[in-house]
Structure 1
Amino acid sequence: MPYLGLEEPPLGHLQASLDNFIPHAQQFGFFLHVSTFRASALLAFQSGHPSRPTPGLLSVVHLLGVHFSQPEAANNQEPSLLSRAVQHVATDLLSSHPNKVIHTLQAEVLLAYYFLRTGMLLEAKYRVGTAVSLTLGAGLHKIRSANITTPSTIGIIHDQPFALPLPQDGLQEAERINGFWTVLMLHKFITVALESPAHVCGALEAPGMQIDTPWPIDMDRFEEGILRPDLQGNSTVRAFLNGYLSDNVHGDSYFALASKAAILFHRAAHLTGQWSPTMTHRDQLAYDAAARSVNVLIESFRANLAPIPRYNATHDPNIRSIILTHALVDAASIKLHWIFAYALSTSKEICLSAARNMVDYGDLNLQDLGYMNPIMGNLWMTACLVFIDEISRTRQLRSSWSEAPVVEDSLLESYRNGLKAMSLFSQESNLMRYQLTKVQEAFEAI
């Protein structure tokens, strides 16, 4: 690459990267206002200019743009681009850039999703940890808090305590709100995907941790003035888990619905990790009460979701968020009930129904949607394993259950639908390819 020695790629290369990246930005945790970001990225100022994004963020976006460009030659460019991006992100907080905190946070999120997608899981986990620390240090969990809070200090820079300055306008504040929820979702995804069930928790669920930041907004609606001046937040997540499904303050935006679904997904996985067949009677009662509460919340939330559009929906920019939200809710049901599926027929049916929902898209052509959030591989794998588990059980009962072949045909069809979705997106994702292989191995073992 002739421009590797330069500070950044030529304008034409950067513009092409932006064009490749932006259609998929939302699925990889991009929370900034897209058109504002694009315009500032293409300004004719040198790298690091305060009117442009930080060098680290621009480098990461360029990396992802090349990654999404498809040609085989891009694979040879990515290691060098990744190395440059990581170096810039590591030093941006030491600069005097006015947006260095939020832009570094955005860059860390994008890197985490990139590492997750390419199968570098330890690197992804590290980036998520950095993003969580930066988020809490900047006080993004206390934006517009109704409670009196002490201003957060991110850290010591140049021997002086550094705090995030007040937002200059409503757009900056909206980006910070969305930045917090982006990190929360990513944290929950990575925790469930990479930790054992008994360790599904984390900094954002620590005792005494209270999130007051209002629910996120859809950036394409920001111009409608939906971020009201009098809006305040108070125990946002706790209120949701206590049954307040909607606060009627952009709590039903596509982004907010996906955030709530991620919270339910994580909560169900966390609860499952707490269950043990040897728990005391008192602990069993406490677990049963918590599980019933989460189950009621999942079902109520699902009942209020609009269905996934089945036809000609590819022109809808939010269709991928809708699919993700539904899949997270269904996966939450499976996480909550799967450990009881052998003993309780109701739990088994709940798991099967949720798994079928996750692989049934009607006539919707997934191939036309572009790249999906990398966590979708984990969700589809969960659904496929439910089908494999039930096919195995059906075969064991075949000798005494005359209808078993018919039941198995239905299960096989659902399994193949899930396999088809994973196969489609595994072509460019190392993580999805690995998950597809594990599903196929599980099926071959029955």
Structure 2
Amino acid sequence: MAAPLERGKACSRCRRRKMRCDGQRPACNQCVRAERAEDCEYLDGPGPTQNQILEGEIARLETRIANITAGQAPLTLYDPYAAWNEAQRTARQPNPNDPSRTLVQHFVRHATEFGFFLDIHRFLDRVFTQSPSRSQSMGILLKVIYLLGAKFSNNAQMLAQEQTYLTRALQGLPTALPEDPRSAIYVMQAEVLLANYFFNANRQLEGVYHTNAAVSIAMASRLHTIRSSGRSRSGDSSTYRLPPPADALEEGERINGFWTVFTLDRCWAIASGSTPAFTDDEATGTQIDTPWPMDLSMYRSRPMPNDFRTKNTVKSFIAGADGDANMRSQSLLAIHAKAAILYESATRLASRYNPSSQASYLSLDNRIERFKQALPRIDQFDPMRADVIREALLTHTLAHCATIQLHTPLVQDRVTANSRTFQAAHAAIANLNLWHLNNAPILYCMNPFNGILWASVARVISQGIATGRRLRATGAAGSSQGTPDERTLQSDMERVVAVMSQNATFSPLMNTQVGSLRSARS
């Protein structure tokens, strides 16, 4: 029989539950048998534990929110992960026996860029500091977070466990939804993260599968009609009918969750050559009436009035009914969703272009240009917020690629200096050059759709180079005067390839795109 454990040496979970602990590390047998190894934490190490650090930072966040609500602090651009970033800077060396907190820390740094729409502090508070029991849906989401934490860590030991984390995350998904309907939002969040994980891994079929799963949950939960002013269709029912939100923040999570899934669906439907799953058809009850998303902090400080209602959100935007005024005050998620709408609309219209559709073509072209002109410039964002810069850069590039998609049928492979496709591609690269001068790490792109967009930009530049050479080879001197300077084109191409290569080690999708570009150039 093993000698009894010295007093005070039991892990914190066994202490709370008054269980006999064997003191094994990194996790005791009690926690392992209960499948709670990630919660096995010993309090006899130097300095505060990760739980204590987290509790302190949550308290600090609550104080800050109270100050903002009382009007005692300026409403500047909100960093939802400031508390965690501060904890990582000021806390002592993490406990090597507590890998779960380390994985969460790695995940938090890039969470929003990979589609995390929940309030991170509320979620982690529920996971780590409240009831020792957690819902199955919450546990599955946490497993996905561990998976991405390992992916983001760039640590060989953690990366070696990536497949193990993936297997654990996928095993629980089929049985995750029959519990409390309120937990459906956690499963939808897990599906979004997994979709981006697979897209980034260049496993498009699996990415589309998890995107469609997220769309199904959003539609079944009727997240597309939050605060709708329209009447519900008779006989309408929801598989995961959500109870009313507990507070303004929970409603905000649902709104932001819907638009995150919507944007994911719109963009990757184009990349995979499929039709978006969100149909936005009032006749079938799939119309999109949900209001545009806000920063999560705004739902607490400036909640929507009880009688606030919206209708035909996407259709009104395409028609220009809601305008583009005050876009700088809108959330980056809202601007990103709008750019995705224009990108998908341009691709769909261009795929069936013919002279009879000229009016629709010009109308959408004007809509895209007005949107691009209203976008906040990249240099208007805080240069210290690399995550914000990357999100803004993605949105600008998405808008420029909407122009490329729309005009490609007209330009085909003859790209001149006056071609709208070249002008859009060159403008996208100008944004890259602007920030490369001062802060190259900002260009470390996390959202996997960057790989699709930059490949599209690079193809236009490559077509411009080929056009100029072809005209010069045939002696068409007069015609070649309209081609862009080849040195400019080569510089643009090198910039795009350099950015994509910089991200290729993290993103197999980006690596594949770079390989295709290099093969085409050679």
Normalised by the shorter chain, which TM-score bucket?
0.7 to 0.9
1:240-261 Cα distance to aligned partner (Å, 9 max, x none): 0111234879982221111100
Name the structure 2 match of 1:335: 405
Q: Give the structure with higher Rg (CA).
A: 2
Given candidates 468, 481, 488, the residue that maps to 1:394 is 468
2-side partners of 1:322 and 1:153: how far apart? 38
Task: Name the residue aligned to 1:383.
Answer: 457
Q: Counterparts of 2:281 and 2:404 in 1: how far apart (Å)?
A: 25
| C-alpha contact (below 8 Å) 1:338/1:347 kept by paired residues | no
- The reply on whether 1:212 has 2:282 as its aligned counterpart is no
Which residue is equivalent to 2:153? 69
Spell out, residue by residue over 1:164-217, the C-alpha distance to the aligned partner (whole angstroms, 9 max, x if none): 21111111110000111001000011101111xxx4444435574311000011
Summarize the alignment of residues 29-108 of structure 1 with structure 2, pairs less than 5 Å apart: 29-43=115-129, 45-49=131-135, 54-96=138-180, 99-108=182-191
Deviations 1:369-424 (A, max 9, x none): 65421101110000000000110111011143376998111101011111111111
Amino acid at match of 2:226: I
Cα gap change, 1:44 to 1:207, in 2 (>3 Å): closer
- Gaps spanning 5+ residues in structure 2: where? 1-24, 40-97
Say if 1:348 and 1:435 are closer, same or farther in 2 by CA, change over 3 A: farther
C-alpha contact 2:335 2:395 (8 A) present in aligned 1? yes
Relative contact order higher in (CA < 8 Å, ≥ 6 apart):
1
Pairwise CA RMSD: 2.8
Match of 2:79 in 1: none
**Cα distance in 2 between the residues matched to 1:316 and 1:71:** 21
Answering whether residue 35 of structure 2 is matched by residue 7 of structure 1, we say: yes
1:16 equivalent in structure 2: 102
Residue type at the aligned position of 2:383: A
The one-letter code matched in structure 2 to 1:48 is R
Counterpart Cα distance in 2 of 1:337 and 1:33: 39
Residue in structure 2 matched with residue 269 of structure 1 by the alignment: 347
Residue 238 of structure 1 corresponds to 315
- Contact (CA 8 Å) 2:327, 2:375: kept in 1 or not? no
Partner of 1:393: helix, strand, or coil?
helix
Change (3 A) 1:5 1:385: farther
In the alignment, the residues of structure 1 paired with residue 236 and residue 105 of structure 2 have an alpha-carbon distance, to the nearest angstrom, of 36
Q: Which whole-Å CA distance do the structure 2 matches of 1:250 and 1:358 have between them? A: 19
Gap change, CA 1:417 and 1:228, over 3 Å in 2: farther
User: Paired residue for 2:367, among 297, 301, 311?
Assistant: 297
3-state SS of the aligned residue for 1:10?
helix
From the superposition, tell whether residues 170 and 26 of structure 1 become closer, same or farther in structure 2 (CA, over 3 Å).
same
The question of whether the paired residues in 1 share the 8 Å contact of 2:115 and 2:260 is answered with yes
Aligned to 2:516: 438
Aligned 8 A contact 2:198 2:207 in 1: yes
Q: CA 1:406 to 1:179, structure 2 compared with 1: closer, same or farther past 3 Å?
A: closer
Matched residue SS, 1:309: helix
How high is the TM-score relative to the length of structure 1? 0.87
Distance 1:365 1:373, change over 3 A: same
Contiguous gaps of at least 5 residues in structure 1: 156-161
SS of 1:94's equivalent in the other structure is coil
Q: What is the alpha-carbon distance in structure 2 between the residues aligned to residue 177 and residue 439 of structure 1?
A: 38
Q: Distance in 1 between matches of 2:412 and 2:176?
A: 53
Provide runs of 4+ in structure 1 moved above 4 Å. Answer: 1-6, 246-251, 342-348, 402-406
Residue 58 (structure 2) aligns with: none
What residue in structure 2 maps to residue 159 of structure 1?
A: none
Q: Deviations over 1:290-324 (max 9, x none)?
A: 21111011000011111112897143642222111
**CA deviation vs aligned residue, 1:314-365 (integer Å, no higher than 9, x gap):** 4364222211110110000000001211598789521111111222221243
Say which of 228, 235, 241 aligns to 1:163.
241
Q: Residues 404-415 of structure 1 correspond to what in structure 2 (within 5 A)?
A: 407-415=485-493
Give me the whole-angstrom Cα distance separating, in 2, the residues matched to 1:233 and 1:249.
Answer: 18
Larger deviation, residues 246-255 vs 21-30 = 246-255
SS of corresponding position for 2:423: helix
Aligned-pair identity in percent equals: 31
C-alpha spacing 1:203/1:257, structure 2 compared with 1 (3 Å):
closer
Retained in 2: the 8 A contact 1:340–1:348? no
Hey, what does 1:138 align to over in structure 2? 221
Q: How many corresponding residue pairs?
A: 424
Equivalence for 2:231: 148
**CA–CA distance in 1 between the matches of 2:139 and 2:486?**
55
| Amino acid of the structure 2 residue aligned with 1:211 | I
